[in-house]
Structure formats: C-alpha cells, structure tokens
Amino acid sequence: TQLLEQSPQFLSIQEGENLTVYCNSSSVFSSLQWYRQEPGEGPVLLVTVVTGGEVKKLKRLTFQFGDARKDSSLHITAAQTGDTGLYLCAGVIRGSGGSNYKLTFGKGTLLTVNP
C-alpha cells in the first residue's frame, strides 16, 4: 500500500502555463516536504509545511498543506523549462514513534515543460 499518492504521475505542458500537482494520503502527517529531482541528481528540498492549512510561496511555486494534514498541493505559475523535473512529496506520519526518523516518499510527478 502506497501511503502517499501523487497525481498526476506524468505532466507535459507548454512554457507559460500554470499547473497543480497533488499529494494525498489517508494518514495524518506531522510535517510534509516537497523535493525536486533533476535527471542524474539527487532530490533537493523545496519546502517543509507543518501546520494544517499552511501556505508557503517560493517565487512562482505555491505549496499548501491540507487542513487535516492528509494532503498537499504544489501550484506552479507561468511554468518555465527550468521547472522540468520529478516532484516528490514526503512526510512524517503523525504518532509513528520511531518512524519519526524516516520520511515516507510518494512516487513523484514527472513534469516536462516544453519551450
């Protein structure tokens, strides 16, 4: 069972378009993180959200944590070719005891922004 479901799995858009990708779970998360991974590289942390309903902005990227802390979304405004990559969400399940040490990762959304 995949604890974190990301959708869509693949997304191909034109430069300048807006997009939203989603991360959903039936579990409550203490915190949730978003990473971007470029080909041949390791994932790089973009943001951490910890409070239900929290919204964080990173230039053209807007991250939202659901009120119930079971889901999150990433919205990109006016996408650029440099946004191309694999977007991963990862979270710490609330009340998981020793599992606080490790994150659970979704399988990711592979975004391609075409010029």
Site string for another protein, 19-58 (x = CB under 8 A): ------------x-x-x----xxxxxx--x----------
Cα–Cα distance for residue pair 76/19, rounded to 1 Å:
5
Residue 85 contacts another protein per CB under 8 A: no
If the CB atoms of residues 12 and 80 are measured against another protein, the closer one turns out to be: 12
Q: Which three-class secondary structure state does DSSP give residue 98?
A: helix
| Ramachandran category for residue 113: left, alpha or beta (phi over 0 → left; psi -120 to 50 → alpha) | beta
Interface contacts to another protein, rule CB under 8 A:
31, 33, 35, 40-45, 48, 88, 90, 100-103, 105-108
